[in-house]
Amino acid sequence: MASQANRRILNPSGTNDSHQAQQYTKGELNVDQLHSDPIKQFDIWFQHAQDEKVHQPETVTLSTAELPSGRVSARVVYLKEVDERGFVVYSNWATSRKAHDVSANPHAALTFWWHELERQVRVEGPCERMTSEESQVYYDTRIRGSRIGAWASQQSNVLKDRSELEQQVADAEKKFDGHEQIPVPEFWGGLRVKPEMVEFWQGRPSRLHDRFRYTKAEGGEWKVDRLSP
């Protein structure tokens, strides 16, 4: 039998039973509160998060899985666009781990956590790269340093030290010296996650949370189910 000597049960500092009983008391969610379209429901919740000053509500965990190994990887990115077609994030799609994952397995998951509202949103679906023309529109809104950085960074590749990265940035700066208009790199741009499942989660006392899952049928209509917490 494995030793239990080093086992630790982790709790937030200073918590006790009475403190835990006060968790997840900020709201409830019922089916009659939900929009029939999960994108519109997301817009409602996202606007509420902004109104309630949730810290960076656009922050989202993007999860991908490599095939054939099935190994999963996740990282925090920023949601930059959302419309009826799906949820868009931007990144390097040549050298990054997520690029390798998506090239073999074009499916991904997004997880939003809004602590201040005790709410979570989960999205799952296939991915598609946006065109260079579409990506250029967002790319042009970035500060120059970020645009140069997209050209310079061979994301996720091993660096011998910081100076190697700084030299790559200097080379990119030289390449575009005197040019305010910088083309989006062909290896960089938007990835759209097209939702086939969207779940809205509202924390409730005693961990008896409210969960509603939208699933997309073949005809494009959405089915909504309440899930057990």
Catalytic residue among 144, 207, 211, 213: 207
Q: Is 207 assigned a catalytic role?
A: yes
CA terminus-to-terminus distance, the chain: 32
Angstrom CA distances, 89 to 51, 55, 78, 127, stand at 22, 18, 6, 11
- Which residues are annotated as catalytic? 207
